[in-house]
Amino acid sequence: FFFVHPLQMVSAILQRLPLVAQVALPSVQRAPLMTQMAAAADVVSAVDSIGTTLAFSDQAGKLAGTFFMGSLPSYLAFLYFLSYEKNRTPKVSMFGFQFLLLFVASTVFTGIVTKNTYSCTLADVDWLHGAAEALLTTSNLYVAFGFRSAMVGEPEPEGGAFRYPAFLVFALVGLVTAAGPALGFNAHDAFLGGLGNLVANPLASYASPEPENALSIPTWAIHFSSVFEWLFAMSAVSTYAAATGNERWRWLTWGMLPLHASGVAACTYHFFYNSAEVGSLVTLQAFLTLVGNTTVAIAALLIALSNGWTVGELNPFSEGKEPMFSLKAKFNGEPEPSKLIPTESRRVPLVLQPFPPAPLLAAELIALTLTASYVIKYGEPAFGLPFAPSEIVANLIVLGIPASVAYIIISAPTSSKAKA
């Protein structure tokens, strides 16, 4: 329901809080004094846990949880500015960015299960970890392939049926999360039953045994797929600057870089088997998420400003604004405002860009994902590094990989850049 406007989600949640109080308070008032006091304490605890719904549940009360929670407002601002009509953000990509909110929601209920049922963090419960991350992968797929489709001239999908696969994934994750403990899933059971795991490590003669919280092949694949998809999305956004003739889209590519670094931080933490000795990576990941959500919000604002957005757009009652104009038109039986008010974004077509076919890109993504997953899963036990966690090495990895990506962005051929 919040895919029409992201702020409606927050509004809907707040509107329902009084209903909870109406149901709960009468029963409390009828109870004995001690019961009332206990109930009041529960209410205070529940209110205090609202912050949990805005961050990864198992990080609530920690600095990482604060960073995750603080990153949500800037992400909502990003969605608002990016959805400005004259930006011509591809419909499929916009949905992908919005769908990320369901990934955030999934970390709440999966985190609650891991903490309350298994007394673990989400990163240590492989079957739930992989399930939650599958939503991030789904989000990134929509973002990346949405931009690609727009730049090769493929028509945008009619209606909302293109969203159904994503919602199906979310429903399956919710169902598995709710039913898993009752079905006897243990903390370290592998995601998707460990599909693709080898019976024995081919490098067993050189490798040390993995700890029980080591990621399975499916969970590693979900992580690497998300990282590669995001890199592809960054490249597509940069090229979209040439398609639209608006150089400010390249600023969004730079804005996405801290979020790439956040994903690298998560993978590095898992590389060290989620060791407490590199636990600072969780805080670093959360901080980079906060920074990244802020930078993409700023980039989206700059894109919107370049396309004519003004502060007056925030006024829902201003002339020419939707949905007020839509409501007036429907009430008066007039044509839709979108058909009456031509915009520059509708008149000027995108400049088509050369892009590989979608099946080829999908094959490359699968090949990269599987190669990275098997190399890390069965190669890292052969090295002593993961078993001797080092914050210095971990931070170098987190800084080094995004720095290489930044160098590639800077080195992009001038011909692929749009004119300012």
Does 165 sit behind a cis peptide bond, omega within 30 degrees of 0 on the bond before it? no
Q: Residue 314: what pLDDT?
A: 84
Q: At what angle do helices 217-244 and 126-151 cross, to 10 degrees?
A: 20
Torsion angle, alpha carbons of 253, 259, 261, 262, to 10: 180
d(CA 63, CA 212): 27
Distances (CA, A) of 191 to 40, 166, 173: 39, 19, 11
- 355-367 pLDDT, tens digit per residue, is 889 999 999 999 9
**pLDDT above 60: residue 8:** no
Any idea of the CA torsion for 255, 260, 266, 270, to the nearest 10 degrees?
A: -170
Q: Is the pLDDT of residue 85 over 80?
A: yes
pLDDT tens per residue, range 267-320: 999 999 999 999 999 999 999 999 999 999 999 999 999 999 999 888 876 655
What pLDDT does 125 receive?
Answer: 95
Does residue 415 sit in helix, strand or coil? helix
What is the arithmetic mean of pLDDT over 224-228? 97
